[in-house]
Amino acid sequence: MRISLGRTLSIIAVVYVIEGFPMGVYADVWPIYFRRHGVSLTEIGWLSGLYIAWSAKVLWSPLVDRLGERRHWIAGSMVVMAACLVWIGFDDLHRLGPVLWLVFILYCVASATQDVAIDAYAIGITERGREGPVNSMKITAYRVGLLTAGSGLLLLPGWIGWRGTFLVGAALSLAMASGVFAVPRVAIPTESRRETIAPLRRWLNRPGVIPVVGFILLYRVGDRAMGPMVKTFWVDRGLSDPEIAAVSATFGIGATVLGAIAGGVMVARGGIGRSLWLLGALALASNLGYAAAAAFPESGRAGIYAASGIESFCGGLASAAFLSYLMWICDKEHAAVQYALVTALYALAGSLVALPAGWLTERMGYAGYFALTALYALPAFAFLPGARIWLEGSDP
């Protein structure tokens, strides 16, 4: 049955708010929590290496295609993450011991599994030609979910303490686990369930796969490299938790939504391929905004606010084009496996560059490290001409 664009967008909004929430805890709440408790930048950098779970997800993605219903995978993952947040809330955090690391790993694996199910679900309900507006909504809703955690939860420690904050995060996770059943079920053909490895092999055997893989690995790597140090930069510049929440909510979500809408319009009008060039270059240059804010501390909070706004807007632009590309090159019937592969590729590159982020920042300073991240994604543009070959029929 054909779903109207308006109905499709409303469904996308629900599932991507749910997808964004766990990443907000991982990327925003944890670094601030640990920095407040005296954890070094090097250790926080190592923690960011757990993003490797989003690369490893391709290993178990066939299970999402083959077993059960995608809504069940989403809800089950949220329940696991809720349990992890309860554990973290009751841990004394004397040190990042082995048990706590196992909890972190379990949380990240559950979040990555949820991403597999949600991305496959979204591709299943999105008709060809609607990638632009759908991805604008995905980015916007994902950012809302991320900021619900990354900004909303950061307003709570001053009132109820960190333990209470993590318990609220667990309760919200359980609420989202229940709420996912408000969206309709997307049926998966029986014959598609029988295939697991074959769709992946067909994707990898397509002509021109090498430039496609190279492009996916590198296109958004600059953003991933900078991410782990942004919140610690805010902490070290003296921003309080409520201020950090306000910066993210006011500038972050507003700028990202505007960027995502503008990016979606550009994709719809100019095609995916053309948009990847321009919007990717803008996102890469936006890292220099943070480098400038760090290099000129006299810019104060205004410099941080400006850097945040520019980075969020340009990130929204580039994400609209990039996600449209990833959706286009995957089959609907095998979206869990194929989309898990392509997102695992750029997650892998992001994990590798994020791993030494804290170590490099301690030696280069924030300004030097942020400037370095602006160079990371340049090689992606060498692969882009070859990667565009797979955009046949998209007005590239």
pLDDT in tens, 86-124: 998 887 665 667 888 899 999 999 999 998 888 888 877
In terms of pLDDT, which residue wins out, 316 or 131?
316
- pLDDT tens sequence across 171-192: 999 999 988 887 877 766 555 5
Give me the pLDDT at residue 198, please: 67
Instruction: Identify the pLDDT of residue 175.
Output: 93
Q: At the top level of CATH, which class does the domain 5-391 belong to?
A: mainly alpha
Q: Please enumerate in sequence order all residues whose Cβ is within 8 A of that of 62, keeping only pairs 6 or more positions apart, or say none.
A: 196, 197, 200, 336, 337
Q: Are 290 and 307 in contact (CB under 8 A)?
A: yes
CA-CA-CA-CA torsion sign (201, 205, 208, 211): positive
Contacts of 111 (CB under 8 A, 6+ apart): 22, 23, 26, 53, 54, 77, 81
Q: Is the pLDDT of residue 54 over 60?
A: yes
Q: Where are the domains of the chain?
A: 5-391
Mean pLDDT value across the chain: 81
Q: How far apart are CA 57 and CA 126, in angstroms?
A: 22
Give which of 186, 167, 206, 182 is closest to 119, Cα–Cα: 186
Is 154's pLDDT higher than 60? yes
Q: What are the residues whose beta carbons fall under 8 Å from the beta carbon of 301, sequence distance 6 or more?
A: 239, 243
**Which pLDDT score is estimated for 316?**
81
- The string of pLDDT tens digits covering residues 4-17 is 767 778 888 888 98
Query: Helices in the chain by DSSP H: which ranges?
Result: 5-24, 30-36, 41-48, 53-56, 61-66, 70-90, 98-125, 131-147, 157-179, 190-194, 197-204, 209-218, 221-236, 241-247, 254-270, 272-295, 300-328, 335-354, 357-376, 380-387
Average confidence (pLDDT) over 350-360: 81
Residue among 370, 367, 396 at smallest CA distance from 215 = 396
- Assess whether pLDDT exceeds 80 at residue 67: no
Percent of the chain scored above 70 by pLDDT? 89
In this prediction, what percent of the chain has a pLDDT beyond 90?
12
User: Would you say residue 259 has pLDDT above 90?
Assistant: no
Give me the pLDDT at residue 128, please: 66
The Cα 368–Cα 295 span in angstroms is: 8
Overall average pLDDT of the 216-236 stretch: 83
Whether the pLDDT of residue 391 is over 70: the answer is yes
**Which residue in 323, 361, 319 sits closest to 225, CA to CA?**
361
Residue 388 in 3-state DSSP?
A: helix
Q: Please state the pTM of the whole predicted model.
A: 0.68
